[in-house]
Amino acid sequence: MDRPRIKFPYGISNFAQLTKNNYVFVDKTKYIEQLEEEERYVIFLRPRRFGKSLFVSILEYYYDILEKNNFQGIFSKYYIGKNPTSLANQYRVLKFDFSGIDTQTEEHTYKYFLSKLKHTLKNFMYRYNLFCADIVESILLSSSPANLMDNFFEYYDAWQKQNNDSTPIYVIIDEYEHFTNEILVRDLAEFKRSVSQNGYVRKFYETLKIATQQGIVDRFFITGVSPMTMDSLTSGFNIGKHLSNNEVFHDMLGFVEDEVKDFLELVLIDNNQKDRIMNDLRKWYNGYKFNPEITHTLYNPDMVLYFLDAFKYKQSYPREMLDPNIMPDYGKLMKLFEVANYAENIEVLQEILENDKISCPLLYQFLFEKPFDRTAFINFLYYLGNLTLSGIDAQTGYPNFMIPNFVIGRLFWQYYALVIQEKAILKYDTNSIEKSVEACAYGNIELFFKEIQRILENLSNRDYQRFDEKYIKALMMAYLHHASFYYIRSEREVKNEGYLDLEVLKRSDLSAEPYQYVLEIKYLKQSEESRLSKIMELAKNQLKKYLTVDAELKTLQKLKSIAVVIVKDKIYWEEV
């Protein structure tokens, strides 16, 4: 049975365009009502590609006085259209977008930030027909961000009094820290200068605070990714309320499980596939949590819409499960590890990958009077969407952080492969890694083990001091994650028999039939080499038990079971 043509709003961030062209939409407009009840000055953070710009567009159309006649056409189908608040279309909306600022140098950043402000104010003044051309020109001649905003607000206040106009301003700032995060990654000292007491970014926000005190700005909504910049401005801009971790607003951006199911059912022809597809979507795109007490997780909406937009045509998965258009966002992962202390940050990476979690306090404020330490770095990764919350650690009482899903996990593991090769003083050769993993698909795992052994032979004695089975498994996973046709799983519990070290499984959607693997991994120090035969036999027997009792393993086609024993830098393996 053919399904009706469905248009998903993949890449659409203009709400009027979405409604006019009948894109399907998860109605989040009820949160407008709740935001009004909660706070006048709101700061709400979410990782990149989480629907922030679309929500900002909803706010623009809802509050803009010039959109009053279009209200029904835009909002009538949604909650807020049926339940409008008294503030609907009661503001002049001043929206800033701080993405796209050139941050190559400190001079460039300042110049482009000022230019961005001037461009936004010019459009605002002409859109609402506020001042004569001479006044507009006079305002735009301002030489600094603070001076520019001061002049604008002064003229606006005077214009209102002269024209007996009481329409306040609703300020919206999208991607508020996009450019300052780039500065942070490039130059921590420059970042501190820009947001310090006399920094031009702080001075800009101070003018907004003054405008709220004067009643010129009645409300604002600021969104971005991390609180890094905003919390650095606290002493000069301390009126915003962070709702990012508030339970009431947890689901305001992102999709819950039922919303993804509803979208899938719109396009799915064969309902027998639904459970399998949902299971895959759960592994690849789900897992985000922004409050330790919340029991459910969220899907990244951009990734889900990318998948469904591709799936609807041929009822098949996209070739790459990670949207190529957002790969650069997550590709910046490796640059993040260079912030402040690279060696300490790499230790964080190793702990996450080896233990599947890491624990530390959840920061709501970054204090740059203190060093940018382990806790700050973990929280930075969390706010950027590379980690998510995962319950409370029983020992410390701190939140646990973990990698949210397989998409982000692959990026971590691939970066870890680069780190390991650098440790071994080897050139990072993705082609060699990919060839060794591709050989596994044809049933030849020997080439893969040779690549692993090449790394082991080039590591220093200092590296071997912390070696154990977890470290070896992490090394293998780092390489295996270079194959897009495999799904890698570790430490799955087999009832009453222990945990499977490593499973290398084909993606469920592929028509190809690569060989699949289950690995039991043991590690011996060189002084223990005499135990090799005994430990190899132990590993083989463990695999045999798993194969006997585990129902899932029994269903796998072309499965190879491999017992692996590493003695320092030599790999021994036998197939069961």
In the chain, how many domains are there? 4
- 212/79 same-domain check: yes
The encoded tokens of residue 362 equal: 């959840």
What's the domain range around 273? 257-320
In a domain, 513, yes or no: yes
pLDDT in tens, 373-382: 888 889 888 9
The verdict on 279 and 406 lying in the same domain is no
Is residue 470 located within the same domain as residue 359? no
How far from chain centre, in Å, is Cα 94?
Answer: 27
For residue 516, name the pLDDT band (cuts at 50, 70, 90).
very high
Comparing CA positions, the residue from 441, 429, 348, 425 lying closest to residue 386 is: 348
Pairwise CA distance, residues 403 & 372, whole Å: 21
Q: Give the separation between CA 430 and CA 437, rounded to whole angstroms.
A: 11
Question: pLDDT tens digits, residue range 228-265?
Answer: 776 555 556 677 788 998 999 999 999 999 999 999 99
* Domain annotation covers residue 200: yes
Q: Averaged over 149-168, what is the pLDDT?
A: 95
Whether 56 and 133 share a structural domain: yes
Let me know: does 251 contact 243? Beta carbons within 8 Å: no
What SS3 class is residue 301? helix
Task: For residues 299 and 354, state if they share a domain.
Answer: no
**133-147, 175-189, 350-364, 485-499: which range is least confident on average?**
175-189
Provide φ and ψ at 489, rounded to 5°.
-135, 140
What pLDDT, on the 0 to 100 scale, is given for residue 1? 47
Q: Give the span between the Cα atoms of 536 and 78, in whole angstroms.
A: 63
State pLDDT tens for residues 255-305: 999 999 999 999 999 999 999 999 999 999 999 999 988 999 999 999 999
Measured torsion, CA atoms of residues 144, 149, 151, 153, in degrees rounded to the nearest 10:
-170
Q: How much is the average pLDDT of 555-575?
A: 93
Domain end (from 249, 267, 293): 249
User: 156 and 117, same structural domain?
Assistant: yes
The pTM assigned to this predicted structure is 0.85
Residues 203 and 348 in one domain: no
Alpha carbon distance 472, 468 (integer Å): 7
Residues 342, 329: Cα–Cα separation, whole Å: 20
